[in-house]
Amino acid sequence: MRIDLLTIFPGYFSGPLETSLVATAQADGTVDIRVHDLRDWTTDRHRSVDDSPYGGGAGMVMRADVLVAAAESVWNDVPPGTQVAPPQHVAGGPRPRTVLLTPRGRTLTQALVRELAEEERLVLLCGRYEGIDERVHDLVATDEVSVGDYVLMGGEVAAAAIVEAVVRLLPGVLGNAESAVLESFEQGLLEHPHYTRPVELRGHTVPEVLRSGDHGAIAAWRAERALERTRQVRPDLLGPGGT
Ligand code: ADE
């Protein structure tokens, strides 16, 4: 898979991309991640990516001309400044899945992550400032995604979250193939509790059943704890009946 990240803070991604399994997945060729500085597509001497809003109001708006040009270059794998004709054309096929990170998008879920992980290419567009010119939504984005009902300073954290969630689903990234399937959300429930040594810590003991060796009883205990935890913390995952 290839992932292109478009941002005005390319340096932000050095940590997330150089750490742990995301770094390994790049090193072994499972994923090819490229970070692009949106300012490379500006044409004025201040390299501005934002401007004041038509109609007035507080805050700055991200410019559509810069973002559209950047997306066209990245889609077609051509350097900044190369004209793409006709506009928004993508050589050799449909436009890659292009996700605009914005609090007004649909909320990221594990189901959407699974869908994105099936794509050959992903382009993640990080917004900043008070807003993004509506024509970016019209001309560039195939999807608009939010990572939750709160407002970040920009889309970078959200894009990093998508990278992590998607990369861990790519074949060969997780050591234990089972673990991706048994985790929170994959079964529509939160995960059951986990324990490792020591058996006792400050009066808190590992439940007897987990040390029993009875695999049936362990599975039943885990299913019950997962359901109980989901009921307590995320009853919305269980639907109206709560079961
Ligand atoms: N940019 C600012 N807030 C965001 C959010 N909650 N999700 C995605 N992108 C954002």
Residues 173-205: pLDDT tens digits?
998 655 666 677 877 899 999 999 999 999 999
The residue contributing the CA closest to ligand 1 atom 7 is: 146
End-to-end CA distance of the chain: 38
* Best residue among 8, 104, 146 to mutate for probing ligand 1, ranked by most atoms within 8 Å of CB: 146
Whether 94 and 132 have beta carbons less than 8 Å apart is answered as: no
The residue contributing the CA closest to ligand 1 atom 4 is: 103
Q: What amino acid occupies position 38?
A: L
DSSP result, 80-95: TT---SSTT--TTSSP
For range 86-99, the mean pLDDT: 92
| 198 Rama sector, left if φ>0, alpha if ψ -120 to 50, beta otherwise | beta
For range 226-238, the mean pLDDT: 96
108 lines ligand 1 (CB under 6 A): no
What is the distance in A from the centroid of ligand 1 to the CA of 152? 5
Q: How far is CA 98 from the centre of its chain?
A: 12
Q: What amino acid occupies position 126?
A: C
Please state, in angstroms and rounded to a whole number, the distance separating the CA atoms of residues 38 and 41: 6
Residues 6+ apart with CB under 8 A from 41: 66, 67, 69, 70, 73, 80, 81
pLDDT level of residue 102 (50, 70, 90 thresholds):
very high
Taking the CB of residue 14, how many other CB atoms lie within 10 A of it?
A: 10
DSSP tally for the chain: helices H, then strands E: 8, 10
Which segments within 32-142 are labelled E, that is strand?
A: 32-37, 50-51, 61-62, 97-107, 121-126, 131-132
Q: Is residue 90 predicted with pLDDT exceeding 60?
A: yes
Q: What amino acid occupies position 34?
A: R
Strands 200-201, 204-205: pairing is: antiparallel
The residue contributing the CA closest to ligand 1 atom 2 is: 152
Q: Quick one: pLDDT at residue 145?
A: 98
7 lines ligand 1 (CB under 6 A): no
What is the distance in A from the centroid of ligand 1 to the CA of 165? 16
What is the distance in A from the centroid of ligand 1 to the CA of 45? 29
207-220 pLDDT, tens per residue?
999 999 999 999 99
Q: Quick one: pLDDT at residue 92?
A: 85
